[in-house]
Structure 1
Amino acid sequence: MSQPVDIAALANLLQEAAVKEILPRFRNLESGDVRTKSEAIDLVTEGDEAAERLIKAKIDTIAPGAVFIGEESVAADPALLDKLADADLAIVVDPIDGTFNFAAGLPLFGVMASVVANGETVAGIIYDPLGNDWVIAEKGSGAWMCRPNGSQERLSVTAGVPLGSMVGGASTAFYQEADRRVVMGNLAKVRIATSYRCAAHEYRIFAAGHLHFLMYQKLMPWDHLAGTLIAEEAGAYAARFDGSRYLPAHTNGGLLLATDKESWEALRREVFTV
């Protein structure tokens, strides 16, 4: 399909933000450089804000006239999020996904961007600053691991397995307590369920064939648009809990991704029904 944005240029911009604003601060944050947003596990650092400022300042050279939707920009002006559904073209950015890990000095964080055209996600990028590589997808063109030496590898989710053999990621923090107890009990039906506190890396390893499912309840676009497109282009089946397609305008309704539709239905029925 015709791509409205130079994806290579956008990928390089994420790398530039990481080199200039994120990596110099990794394991080098002072106490005043980390602040709480909505709760103790919801953090923002100087690295998040500086990286988003750099990306925002240069995005118009890559996508002239695009609406810029950044996690920290929306934190400052929540009404900005309402522009996404009706935008002809929008760039959605998470300057540091996995801020909790970044602030704790854990090497598990990423930079994410997606391109939304007329209400559809048409491209997604997840950059790993420490590995210095990108996972990229354009709608209809597959999902690819792109390394700094120019080599590329097409990604594919793994084959489906029985429920009791599944290994996956499940973010249960945003359930009400009673529902969380049910879901966490149900997760005993799978082999392993974990959370890396970093959707960027969860999507990367899922698309590369190392997990069988991912589940999220809170759907902010900077967290999930890029990863969902990448997963689908790698062959995954993705839908909200009611079975409907996940679209850029959605911020609730849960999201479940699996290696195939049959696995999705088994997970929804046996694990994520409350």
Structure 2
Amino acid sequence: MTFSDTDFDYLTTIVAEAAAKEILPRFRNLSTDDISEKTSAIDLVTEADLLAEKHITAALKARFPTALIVGEEAYEADKSVVPALADAELAFTIDPVDGTFNFAAGLPVFGTIVAVVANGQTIASVIHDPVLGDTITAARGAGAFLRRPTGQARRLSVAPAAPLSAMTGAISWGYMDEPDRTRITTNLAKTRIAFALNCSAYEYWMVASGKWHFISHSKLMPWDHLAGVLVHQEAGGYTAKFDGTPYRPGETTGGIISAPDEDSWHIIRREIIGA
């Protein structure tokens, strides 16, 4: 089973359609009945998440009937789909509204993330901003691009390496357990400034476009990270798990760091993540 340039165009189109039809009309228009907690008060699902995932899933199944579809919301019903990513001939991961807490709060820092996986490798990525209409795309070996609704496209590049004291970035410490949580938040004071967006879509956008130097996460659900890691790599960056191994489809543990280069990665691993 192949995934062509025409298929990539189809994917970006259906992601934008889902955003325009199911996500944007509900932004700042949700009632309390449209928002539910999953595991906690900061882990939410809304009507927009469910309907956008349904829209994208149906369109993918129509074009790729034998492909594995791994949606964040559908995962709750069948958790075996994530390990299956490692061996799937063709698969798609979908995060319909990444940054749901922000979305539900009316903060325009959220996005739709879709990754294309083939035979254990992420081969294409789409990260779409429903509010601005901008889309980041990446294809393995072909670079990462910011595409505007006007048709303009700009190739993305990561930030140049910098001393730790001059670095900017984000580490998703809110989902970490102690003592890691306290150690890492304390160590972030060694950087120039650290942010917390609670949105992988925007975090990968920032690090792949050179606005930040680094990002890091301990929770590795595929719909949050497969697309972004490919974008970052195609923008010239270096990503690895905390133990130095590559991050692969099907993995959910181990933590990852994305940095401008391998030396910067080692600095973040040693000075920020620590023991």
Under a length normalisation based on structure 2, what TM-score does the superposition of the two structures give? Answer: 0.96
Aligned-pair Cα RMSD in Å: 1.4
Q: 1:209 to 1:139 in 2, by over 3 A?
A: same
Q: Hey, what does 2:194 align to over in structure 1?
A: 193
What amino acid does structure 2 have at the position aligned with 1:249? G
SS in 2 for 1:79: helix
Q: Does 1:173 align with 2:197?
A: no
What is the CA-CA distance between 1:241 and the residue it aligns to?
0.4
Correspondence for 2:133:
132
What is residue 45 of structure 2 aligned with on the other side? Answer: 44
Question: Distance in 2 between the 1:63 and 1:142 partners?
Answer: 25
| CA deviation string 1:15-47 (max 9, x = no partner) | 110111111111110111000001111000000
The one-letter code sitting in structure 2 at the alignment partner of 1:225 is: L
Aligned to 1:162: 163
Query: Matches of 1:162 and 1:82 in 2, distance apart?
Result: 38
TM-score by length of structure 1 reads 0.97
Gaps of 5+ in 1: none
Equivalences, count: 274
CA distance, structure 2, for counterparts of residue 5 and residue 186 of structure 1 = 46
Deviation at 1:150, TM superposition (A): 1.7
List runs of 5+ in structure 2 lacking aligned partners: none
Equivalent in the alignment of 1:149:
150
Structure 1 window deviating more from structure 2 (56-65 vs 140-149): it is 56-65
**Would you say the 8 A contact 1:5–1:63 is kept in 2?**
no
Q: Partner of 1:136: helix, strand, or coil?
A: strand
Q: Alignment identity in percent? A: 49
Question: Take 1:100 and 1:75, find their aligned partners in 2: how far apart are those partners?
Answer: 18
Aligned mates of 1:74, 1:47 — CA distance in 2:
16
The Cα shift of 1:83 comes to 2.1
User: Which residue of structure 1 lines up, in the alignment, with residue 73 of structure 2?
Assistant: 72
Q: Deviations over 1:84-126 (max 9, x none)?
A: 2221100110000000000000011100100000010000110
The superposition leaves residues 187-242 of structure 1 with CA deviations (integer Å, 9 ceiling, x where unpaired) of 11111111111110111111111000000000000000000000000000100000
Aligned letter for 2:210?
G
2:96 maps to a residue whose letter is P
- Matched with 2:111 is 110
How far, CA to CA, are the matches of 2:6 and 2:242 in structure 1? 31
